[in-house]
Structure 1
Amino acid sequence: MNQKMSLFTKISYGLGDFASQLIWTFVGTYLTVYYTDVVGLTPLAVSIIMLIARAYDAVDDPLTGAIAERTRTRFGRFRPYILYGTPLLAIVNVLAFTSPAFGGNQTAKVIWAGATYLLLGMLYSIVNLSYGALSTVMTNKPEEIIQLNSARMIGTNLGAVLLSGAAMPLLLKFSNGDAPTAQGYTMAVAVFSLLAIPLFYLLFFSSKEVIQPVKEEKIPFRTTFKVVLTNKPLICIFMIMLFSLIAIFGRLGTVIYYYIYVLKRFDLIAPLMMLPSICTAVSILVTSRFVEKVGKKKMCTISYIGSAAVLTALFFTDISNITMLMILTALFGIFSFSAPIPMSMIAEAIDYAEDKTGVRADGTSYATVSLSTKMASAIGGSIGIMMIGAFGYVANAEQTLQAMNGINLVVNLIPAAFMLLSLVPLYLYPLNQEKNEAIRNRLRSKEVTAREEIAREEVARGVAAREVTE
């Protein structure tokens, strides 16, 4: 337990989210525009599909986490789901960007889109929830947990950089034209899915689960869910991530419309998409060493207020001032350094609940918080696309001034408001460094006592067995 985690393990863990971005960030960035501009679905239909899928996730994700934490294999509790779920995730990801013609039947197209998107979300939960939960069982050292989640966020942003730089050129190359086609999307997604598989497997082989429940007692599902739902720190983290990620994913899912229909600069899509991700990766690398010293809540406060200020400035910037747009886009990336901090707080919340109730619900706890990621993706994307439609957006057409102003509002000002909203649950988060250290000390003491009790029971059973034999 005291052995220092290797740099290779941390890098491999970070590459796990690099792989995730090759799938989920592409989905978050391009699936809505694929549905509206290529498949021909209405913005309302796209919004309904996303909201239904996320409503299902509200049940599926915590259940997936609860099942995973009860799994016992030679690979551990969470790693097997990465091993077996990865190839299925890659296949369904390609299917989600494959749209049969169905003879022009719009209802059939909507059903296909909904079914593949729902299945994609289920498989992504199986792989990504298990991946995320690993950080809570690979080490019990706070600084290493922060390092793992920082590596993860760097991987996130580097994956986003690759997607931002390569996605549109790949789409156009496979489309054999000036605009992305259905074939272009399918082939580009196939490339990214194939790249993700070996990265997930590198994570599988390099990670090790070192924290296990001391007692192998069977805990009812209802007890686990009660522990999670009454865990105030965990609920605060859920809300922090929900609001901040609605801002991020809502912007990510609609910003492509801003670049295509407001700026009208296809040549700037790649650099503008890459810039915030590059700046965020560098910013996380620089700021991660200060998190424990300054404090998680203070660092998040700086990040959220700074991000909101920059997005507000972007809203009011003239679209002809490309230099200022580039500078502000870079600043948005710099102020996004807080991404790994709430995730590193999940381990604190898990310890808090275990100290309070005696139940370690790591898988379910992580799944509950991770649900905020997919809910934010759906809420941000669906609200964004509905608002754009309400402002008069028409696919593949010259947009009215009202529609362009609506896109600007959805891409910049609405996300700024959600960033500020994240400060409310952040303020209510009850844990700090001193409380966490006290909790960890009590848990270590309980673990020692429990292991001594188990050892005494084993000795007593051995003595009893010898007496029976004699």
Structure 2
Amino acid sequence: MVDDRLPTRVRVGYALGSLATGAFGTVPGLLLLPYLTDSLGVAAGLGGILVLLPKAWDIVANPLAGRLSDRTVTRLGARRPYLIGGGLTVAVLFAALFAGPASGAAGAGYVTVIFLLTATAYAAYQVPYVAMPAELTESATERTRLAGARIVVLALAILVSGALAPALVDAVGGLAGYRVMGVGVGALIAVGALAAFALTAGAPTGRIATAAGTLRAQLKVAAAHPPFVRLLACFVIQAVAIGTMLAGVRYFADHVLDRPGANSILFACFVGPALVVMPLWTRLGRHLGKRAGYLLASVLFAAGGLLLAAAGALGAGWAYGCTALVGIGYAGQQTFALSMLPDTIAAASARTGRRQAGVFTGLWTAGETLGLALGPGVFGLLLSATGYVSSTGGGVPQPASARTGILFGFTVLPAAVMLLGLLTLRRYPPGGGAELDGRAPGGGRVSRGTAPGGGPDRDPTSTSDQEEHR
């Protein structure tokens, strides 16, 4: 049997690119709303909208970035030029994001403009980056290995940025703390982008057809592939749950636990267990199937969120334990979603014979970033509705209604939204859609050379891939 494993250098390099996605995907959702409400004095509802609007632009920017990278032909490859150009631009703009005017109106306007530019640059980095696994290998098993390595680094990036960024803000204090934090996180983003660019040099690109058709036509093809649509819908809805919980961490620590420094501990409890259980989720997926693993992980996330609702009465220790359970569920949810995505892309590409990974991942990343941005928007509106008092220095006593809103928004609401997303996976096929080309879930022959994992021209008797999608 031909060895379809990627070189270790390529797997490591690709995984290190998640230092950038993990940092940018975590820190704005964790600190940008508190920065607006508790440092610039922006009203909570308005702050939530300001965090949402630049991310809503991703609905347009991400598919365009995907189509552009699909049509790119350079000596560096189709995707790699965007890793270096987009990644370094994100790093610089992120450092600038917290370096603006300190007054409410001017500061809020500055944040909105810079965040919009940063989101645009991030689309140019993230979309090509997420598209790469579907082209690096035709093996569903190897794509799972890529996803597993990526999630390990992603978890480390989330842990480092999510735990240390708030601690750095608190250690330095005030606006200066946010500015120092911005430079530090920007440097982490730059390291991830540079590593991904350098170590994937010379990586295999699989069998890539020429990109064809208008953007509208390619989007129509993506929408016509039901497994992708169902998986995307689930992931977007669940991203809202994750974004809402991220936005509430600092408020929960300050006003429910009455421990201002507990936000870093909560985040460490959220991400730390993921580093241990990630390989276990991957092994479990081989036995249960990716869809079943996804369902189980999402239920664990929701259970931890519901149990967190008792933290006001049971204290910080209870909160830390429940947050760890949420983190275990989050690790599995991310692992299975990101390994199921290239399966659906490969299956759709086998049907059409066209190079469309960028379009699919453009839609995926647009949905993910929109969902993560909707979380702070929802949380900000909830704070506004329950009477949260904004300030320019923090530490303002909050009414009981605001504390109740914070507790609900950090616990029950994310749990309910996480479970809601699972409704879209009821008809998700076991092979990511390869059966649409002639292989039904119960068996049968795969036409057009497509295996259950979605890769073209694979041996339909391959034991590893059959087990992967059993």
- CA apart distance, 1:393: 1.0
What TM-score results when the alignment is normalised by the length of structure 2? 0.87
Runs ≥4 residues deviating over 6 A = 443-448
**Structure with higher helix content:** 1
Q: Is the 8 A contact 2:240 2:417 kept in 1?
A: yes
Q: Calculate percent identity across the aligned residue pairs.
A: 24
Q: Does 1:248 align with 2:242?
A: yes
Going from structure 1 to structure 2, the CA distance change for 1:276 and 1:182 (only over 3 Å counts) comes to same
Q: Which one-letter code corresponds to 2:417 in the other structure?
A: F
Alignment of 1:194-205 (within 5 A): 194-205=187-198
Q: Is the 8 A contact 1:57 1:371 kept in 2?
A: yes
- CA apart distance, 1:133: 1.2
> What 5-or-longer segments of structure 1 have no aligned partner?
176-180, 449-470
- CA apart distance, 1:246: 1.1
- CA apart distance, 1:289: 2.0
| Aligned-partner SS, 2:22 | helix
| Aligned-partner SS, 1:422 | helix
Q: Does 1:22 align with 2:60?
A: no
Alignment of 1:291-310 (within 5 A): 291-310=285-304
1:117 to 115, 118, 124: 115
Going from structure 1 to structure 2, the CA distance change for 1:250 and 1:82 (only over 3 Å counts) comes to same
| Deviation per residue, 1:118-148 (Å, 9 max, x gap) | 1111111111112111122111111111111
Match in the other structure for 1:343: 338
Deviates more, 1:160-169 or 1:432-441: 432-441
Larger radius of gyration: 1
| Deviation per residue, 1:293-316 (Å, 9 max, x gap) | 211111111111122122111113
Match in the other structure for 2:369: 374
- CA apart distance, 1:111: 2.3
Please give the alpha-carbon distance, in whole angstroms, between the structure 1 residues aligned to 2:432 and 2:263: 42
Going from structure 1 to structure 2, the CA distance change for 1:329 and 1:217 (only over 3 Å counts) comes to closer
| Deviation per residue, 1:433-457 (Å, 9 max, x gap) | 7946837833899779xxxxxxxxx
Deviates more, 1:373-382 or 1:267-276: 267-276
Please give the alpha-carbon distance, in whole angstroms, between the structure 1 residues aligned to 2:382 and 2:212: 48
What TM-score results when the alignment is normalised by the length of structure 1? 0.87
| Aligned-partner SS, 2:39 | helix
Q: Which one-letter code corresponds to 1:394 in the other structure?
A: V
Going from structure 1 to structure 2, the CA distance change for 1:446 and 1:100 (only over 3 Å counts) comes to closer
Please give the alpha-carbon distance, in whole angstroms, between the structure 1 residues aligned to 2:123 and 2:112: 17
Give the aligned CA root-mean-square deviation in angstroms. 2.3
- CA apart distance, 1:242: 0.8
Q: Which one-letter code corresponds to 1:58 in the other structure?
A: I
1:278 to 272, 279, 296: 272
Match in the other structure for 2:449: 441
Alignment of 1:65-214 (within 5 A): 65-101=66-102, 104=103, 106-175=104-173, 181-207=174-200, 208-211=202-205, 214=208
Q: Is the 8 A contact 1:304 1:420 kept in 2?
A: yes
Please give the alpha-carbon distance, in whole angstroms, between the structure 1 residues aligned to 2:100 and 2:209: 49
Going from structure 1 to structure 2, the CA distance change for 1:445 and 1:385 (only over 3 Å counts) comes to closer
Q: Is the 8 A contact 1:284 1:338 kept in 2?
A: no
Q: Which one-letter code corresponds to 1:187 in the other structure?
A: V
Please give the alpha-carbon distance, in whole angstroms, between the structure 2 residues aligned to 1:44 and 1:324: 30
Going from structure 1 to structure 2, the CA distance change for 1:309 and 1:215 (only over 3 Å counts) comes to closer
Match in the other structure for 2:227: 233
Q: Is the 8 A contact 1:68 1:78 kept in 2?
A: yes
| Deviation per residue, 1:407-461 (Å, 9 max, x gap) | 000000000111111211111223437946837833899779xxxxxxxxxxxxx
Please give the alpha-carbon distance, in whole angstroms, between the structure 2 residues aligned to 1:5 and 1:267: 43
Match in the other structure for 2:399: 400
> What 5-or-longer segments of structure 2 have no aligned partner?
440-445, 459-470
1:327 to 321, 324, 335: 321
Q: How many residues align?
A: 440
Q: Which one-letter code corresponds to 1:166 in the other structure?
A: L
Please give the alpha-carbon distance, in whole angstroms, between the structure 1 residues aligned to 2:53 and 2:4: 45
Q: Is the 8 A contact 1:88 1:123 kept in 2?
A: yes
- CA apart distance, 1:217: 6.1
- CA apart distance, 1:364: 0.7
| Deviation per residue, 1:56-87 (Å, 9 max, x gap) | 22111111101111100111111100112222
Match in the other structure for 1:63: 64
- CA apart distance, 1:352: 2.5
